[in-house]
Chains A and B, each alone.
Chain A
């Protein structure tokens, strides 16, 4: 399989060359028998092994039987995704490329000097979202998110922020601060793993984490989840008891979406080809297993609905960043 993947990758770039030289790969027929090109590539703008990599590979593998073609996967990391997204712009109009997207697509243009926005691309599918949970060590005196907020009102609590000071953790704490009129002492960490270590070591009081990051520690009784930063609870059994921020009177909801996009400027046929393929993909068992294993909330949106979602998401981020 690996070998085929490579051939696809190599040939995929040649398809780009053709597109660049003006031959164009988007000769569209009717929607049903549209051909996206022989050599399909899924770009992952993050390093191998992480959450984006896993979701990108899972979607690529899942789409293959639907479209009856192989999809090569390429990691192009750097700059928190900036390098990969920027490079993706060079595939303008080429429907043989996909990119495994997540929040960075909306976040980066708001915080960094990058040559793209999410409108530069064609949103295809959002598979669903990760909602973040607020976690504390089991020995912590706080048992709800409201406790945490009140405690930090009295004397500032230390909150671990993983990712970046303009990343999702920072934005969520920013939204909570704004909603509740409090302030956390935010300590930045490189990754969720390091933030977790700091929490377990007692160096910070509270942290945010996706369920898949802390399920093991929760089962072992080392950390407890106080609330999900969402308006709906998780449906998975292990998490159904965790209340939401909204339930606890904190009017903050936030999620981290995952999905795929195609380059900007592709034809309508190309777009609906991928949207249709994705619609079939989300019905598959593989998709359900993947979502369940990673404790993701399934909430697929396609094409223009995904765009609408992105627009509102952008607004939400802007609000969070003002205070982050």
Chain B
């Protein structure tokens, strides 16, 4: 074991590999910041550039792009409410709320710390127990995946905020939109009405940019006079207490993220969403969730990063892609003339351990880069909004195009932006829409698989022990606390007739949610200049 790690470091610490690791991480951060360009696109786009490199070097750089992108996505999510991938939706909710309160630096710092801790934990697990974990992950068949998808669906409760009805409406719309186009489970495309563009479906990334970034911009323009956020340095820099209060969230997030990230296929897409959804139910700070809880950012980001690393377990140990980004990386292996598969650890020890140890180095670089830079990035918000929002629109539109190099995306973006504005205006939470859109195809796939697997009998989900366990965990964490609160609220209501939301009018509607008390709000805005 030790000699493997030493071998790894002797590979990853060569000046050349170190340099490319740094370039990968930095490039990834920049790509991740751009709307619409997530890790998968980033790696795929830059893959051809690496073909002339040594395989190890190339993979180190591509992996650097992967987790660099994750962090870059966080920056865009926090600062301008533009999630780069589905997981970042969870970061937007609290991260952007924090940014509006002038605490963007804090949000970015906790994201960097949470990501780092998660990366280190998941790396240690990866190094120690990759093989057993990989074979455990294989036990997740159709029924288990369906149970995980149901768990994902249950998080809609958390993302709906206080108005479950509106959340469900939006989730339903998201699910409906997700069925547009061709689906691998069925012979015929649906809801295309003869339009070829719709055969490709409605890309959730484009909708996400439309609803969050464009919708938010228009809301801000509509309310007018959005002032540059002025903050004191004290609010920008993270305090020890913030970190201490986030530790449980980071640990829980890392665990959930790691667990889901090891599953081949859809697991990692859900990591941050499930982690955020669950954290909101169990956290002692849960009332702050949606209004700027750093624990929300910590839970989402640590899960995201843990999942990214865990994704490499099936990829390296089995040769089976853990997620979409690692699928592209597997393709890269073949291009470099390396056969991925279970023998990779034996046949290419220098490559595998070099790559794994480079994760450690890359994450140290990310932390060293981003912790001091977090307040600097946050300065972007001091830019006058009259200049900032045209820039956001510029990059949102170019990014939406780049998702699939398709001009049709601009039309989708416009429609989503208009819809996003009105939905936000009337307090319809937008995160469940994205959740529905992201989960829809995965849920449907799991349904189709389970039904073909069990000859149409979906009740296997209750008879397969593992599936039942997952379902049980999901119900206990997601439903029980919510029901108990509802119950105690009803009692409270009967006693005091103060209305169902006497506990502070907890309200979450994603970005654009303005802060809670008039006094606090007044302190955020300094009046027109």
Contact = CB atoms under 8 A, between A and B. Distances in A.
Interface of A: 2, 47-50, 53-54, 57, 74-80, 82-83, 86, 111-115, 158, 163-167, 185-191, 193-194, 196-198, 200-204, 212, 214-217, 219-220, 222, 293-294
Interface in B312-348: 314, 318-321, 327-328, 330-332, 334-335, 337, 339-344
B342 A217 contact: yes
Contacts of B141: 198, 201-203
Interface in B394-410: 404-406
Contact of B199 (A79, A187, A188): A79
A163 B182 CA distance: 11
A188 B449 contact: yes
Interface string B182-202: 101111110010101101110
Contacts of A114: 196, 199
A112 B340 CA distance: 34
A48 B51 CA distance: 14
B192 A216 contact: no
B45 A48 contact: yes
Contact of A215 (B43, B328, B339, B406): B339
A77 B48 contact: no
A193 B320 contact: yes
Contacts of B185: 164-165, 188
B452 interface: yes
B201 A79 contact: yes
A198 B263 CA distance: 11
B320 A49 contact: no
A82 B187 contact: no
Given A49-B331, A112-B182, A216 B139 contact: no
Contact of B44 (A49, A86, A193): A49
Contacts of A166: 187
Given A54-B334, A78-B200, A185-B452, A164 B319 contact: no
A113 B192 contact: yes
Contact of B189 (A49, A86, A112, A187): A112
Given A48-B41, A49-B43, 5 more contacts: A53-B331, A78-B199, A79-B201, A185-B453, A197-B138
A185 B48 CA distance: 40
A293 B44 contact: no
A83 B406 contact: yes
The 10 closest A-B pairs by CB, nearest first: A216-B341, A78-B200, A79-B199, A201-B138, A48-B44, A203-B141, A49-B328, A220-B342, A79-B200, A86-B196
A216 to B, nearest CB: 2
A70 to B, nearest CB: 13
B522 interface: no
B201 A48 contact: no
A245 B452 CA distance: 26
Contact of B47 (A48, A191, A197, A222): A48
Given A50-B331, A78-B199, A79-B181, A188 B264 contact: no
A130 to B, nearest CB: 13
24 contacts: A48-B47, A49-B43, A57-B48, A75-B405, A77-B404, A79-B200, A79-B201, A80-B199, A82-B182, A112-B199, A115-B196, A163-B184, A164-B182, A164-B185, A194-B264, A197-B318, A200-B320, A201-B141, A202-B138, A212-B334, A216-B340, A216-B341, A216-B344, A219-B339
B265 interface: yes
Contact of A83 (B49, B139, B199): B199
Nearest to B445: A190
Contacts of A57: 48
A65 to B, nearest CB: 16
B47 A49 contact: yes
Contacts of B452: 185-188
B341 A215 contact: yes
B40 to A, nearest CB: 8
A interface SS class: mixed
B334 A293 contact: yes
Given A57-B48, A113-B192, A293-B337, A185 B455 contact: yes
B449 A196 contact: no
Interface string B440-453: 00000100110011
A158 B449 CA distance: 11
Given A57-B48, A200-B320, A217-B342, A187 B264 contact: no
B142 interface: yes
Nearest to B448: A188
B140 interface: yes
Contacts of A196: 319-320
Contacts of B331: 49-50, 53-54
Contact of B187 (A47, A53, A111, A293): A111
Contacts of B448: 188
Contacts of A163: 184
Given A185-B455, A190-B265, A190-B445, A76 B406 contact: yes
Nearest to B338: A216
Given A47-B44, A82-B182, A197 B404 contact: no
A220 B318 CA distance: 10
Nearest to A294: B334
Contacts of B189: 79, 112-113
Contacts of A82: 182, 196, 199-200
B124 to A, nearest CB: 24
Interface in B423-441: none
A205 to B, nearest CB: 11
Nearest to B141: A203
Given A49-B332, A216-B344, A187 B142 contact: yes
A37 to B, nearest CB: 20
A8 to B, nearest CB: 14
Contacts of B318: 197, 200, 217
B142 A193 contact: no
Contacts of A158: 453
A50 B335 CA distance: 11
A111 B186 CA distance: 10
Contact of B343 (A48, A194, A219): A219
Contacts of A191: 321, 327
B279 to A, nearest CB: 29
Nearest to A324: B187
Contact of A220 (B201, B341, B404): B341
A213 B142 CA distance: 22
A59 to B, nearest CB: 14
B194 A113 contact: yes
Contacts of A212: 334
A53 B405 CA distance: 14
B406 A193 contact: no
B169 to A, nearest CB: 28
Contacts of B184: 163-165, 167, 188-190
A42 B228 CA distance: 46
